[in-house]
C-alpha cells in the first residue's frame, strides 16, 4: 500500500475508512470541512501535455494490444470516453478483456512526467487551508504518486481516492468478511453474465462522472457533501458532483458550467475566488503548517 507523510493534524486512513480526530470536532461549525480535488488538469494545467500523451498511449494500447482496426481507434477512444467516463471503462463494457494494471502501465507508465515541475505556490495554498483535503481521481495509484511527487505535493493531502479505491480486485470485492469492500446496501453492481459460482464475468468499472462514483467517494471519505467543495476540470464531473450535493468549482475555465458554483481559470486563483475557505481560520493556519507529521495512505 502506497503511503505518504503529511503535515496535517486531522486524520489518518485505516482499512478504507477515514478516522476523524479532535480537530474535526472542533471545526464542526465551519462552513466547509473538506476539499475534494481532482488531480489531472486540475492541480496542473492541460498545457502540460500529459492529457494528449495519455490519449495517444491509450490509442496505441487499443491498436497493438486489443487489435482494434486502426481507422476506428481515434473515434472509438473518444466515444467510449464520452459515454463511460473513461475509455478503459468503455472498452470493458464492450467486452474487451485485459489486465487493469497492464492498461494503466501502458497509458500512464510512458507519460512525460518531466513536464511537471514543483509548484510551491500551490503547495503553500494547500497547506494554509484548514479543511481536510482529499484527492479524488479516476487515475491509478502509481500515476497519482508520480504526479504528486513531480508537483511537490505528496504531503499536502489527507488521503487519495483513486481507481483502486473504487474498483478493488474481484477477490476483495467479493469477500463477505470485509464490510468495507461492500456498498452499504449490500449490492455489487455488475455487467455480464453470472457464472456457476455466482461471480460476474465482467465487473463494471466505477468512475467519474457517474453520480454513483461520487457518492461512493463521499461515503469512503466520510464527509458531509453540504460542507464539501469539489474541484474538477470536467464539466460532466461538476454536474454529477452538484447532483450528489457537493459545492462545485470548475477549474481551467473562467466561465461557469452547468452545476458549477464557481469557476477558476487556474487553481492558483483559489484564494481570490474562494476567500471563505480561510474565513474564521486565521489563527489555525500557522498551526496547520507547523503541525506534526502523521501518516496518510492511498485508499486501495
* Residue ranges per structural domain of the chain: 3-46+118-167+206-299, 50-108, 170-203
Mean pLDDT along residues 209-224: 98
**Cβ count within 10 A of residue 14:** 12
> How many angstroms separate the Cα of 192 from the Cα of each of 169, 198, 204?
17, 12, 9
Q: What is the pTM of this model?
A: 0.78
Which residues are registered as beta bridge partners of 248?
Answer: 230
* pLDDT higher than threshold 80 for residue 177: no
Bigger pLDDT: 202 vs 251: 251
The percentage of residues in the chain with a pLDDT greater than 70, rounded to a whole number, is 72
Q: Which residues touch 97 (CB under 8 Å, ≥6 apart)?
A: none
CA dist 19 and 77 (Å) reads 39
Give the strands of the sheet with 132-136, arranged side by side.
Answer: 3-6, 294-299, 159-161, 132-136, 34-37, 228-232, 247-251, 262-264
The percentage of residues in the chain with a pLDDT greater than 90, rounded to a whole number, is 71
* pLDDT higher than threshold 90 for residue 37: yes
* pLDDT higher than threshold 80 for residue 121: yes
CA dist 267 and 133 (Å) reads 14
Look over the chain and give the mean of its residue pLDDT values, rounded to a whole number: 81
Q: Which CATH number fits domain 3-46+118-167+206-299: 3.90.180.10, 3.40.50.1000, 3.20.20.140, 3.40.50.150?
A: 3.40.50.1000
Task: Identify the CATH class of 50-108.
Answer: mainly alpha
CA dist 287 and 109 (Å) reads 38
Which residues are registered as beta bridge partners of 34?
Answer: 132, 228
* pLDDT higher than threshold 90 for residue 239: yes
CA dist 107 and 56 (Å) reads 8
Which residue carries 453540504 as its cell?
226
* pLDDT higher than threshold 90 for residue 195: no
Amino acid at each position: 500500500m502506497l503511503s505518504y507523510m503529511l503535515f496535517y493534524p486531522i486524520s489518518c486512513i485505516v482499512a478504507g475508512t477515514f478516522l476523524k480526530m479532535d480537530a474535526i470536532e472542533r471545526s464542526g461549525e465551519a462552513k466547509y470541512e473538506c476539499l475534494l480535488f481532482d488531480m489531472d488538469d486540475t492541480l496542473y494545467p492541460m498545457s502540460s501535455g500529459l492529457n494528449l500523451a495519455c490519449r495517444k498511449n491509450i490509442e496505441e494500447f487499443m491498436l497493438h494490444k486489443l487489435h482494434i482496426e486502426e481507422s476506428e481507434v481515434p473515434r472509438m477512444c473518444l466515444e467510449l470516453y464520452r459515454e463511460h467516463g473513461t475509455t478503459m471503462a468503455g472498452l470493458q463494457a464492450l467486452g474487451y478483456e485485459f489486465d487493469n494494471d497492464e492498461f494503466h502501465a501502458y497509458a500512464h507508465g510512458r507519460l512525460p512526467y518531466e513536464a511537471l515541475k514543483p509548484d510551491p505556490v500551490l503547495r503553500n495554498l494547500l497547506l494554509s487551508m484548514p479543511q481536510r483535503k482529499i484527492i479524488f481521481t479516476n487515475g491509478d495509484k502509481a500515476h497519482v504518486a508520480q504526479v504528486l511527487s513531480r508537483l511537490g505535493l505528496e504531503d499536502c493531502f489527507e488521503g487519495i481516492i483513486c481507481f483502486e479505491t473504487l474498483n478493488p480486485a474481484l477477490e476483495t470485492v467479493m469477500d463477505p468478511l470485509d464490510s468495507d469492500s461492500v456498498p452499504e446496501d449490500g449490492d455489487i453492481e455488475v455487467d455480464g453474465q453470472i457464472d456457476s459460482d455466482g461471480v460476474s464475468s465482467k465487473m463494471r468499472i466505477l468512475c467519474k462522472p457517474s453520480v454513483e462514483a461520487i457518492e461512493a467517494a463521499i461515503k469512503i471519505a466520510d464527509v458531509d457533501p453540504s460542507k464539501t467543495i469539489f474541484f474538477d476540470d470536467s464539466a460532466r464531473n461538476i454536474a454529477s458532483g452538484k447532483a450528489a450535493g457537493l459545492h462545485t468549482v470548475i477549474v481551467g475555465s473562467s466561465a461557469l458550467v452547468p452545476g458549477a458554483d464557481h469557476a477558476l481559470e487556474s487553481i492558483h486563483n483559489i484564494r481570490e475566488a474562494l476567500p471563505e475557505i480561510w474565513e474564521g481560520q486565521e489563527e489555525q493556519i500557522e498551526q496547520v503548517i507547523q503541525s506534526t507529521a502523521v501518516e496518510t495512505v492511498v485508499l486501495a
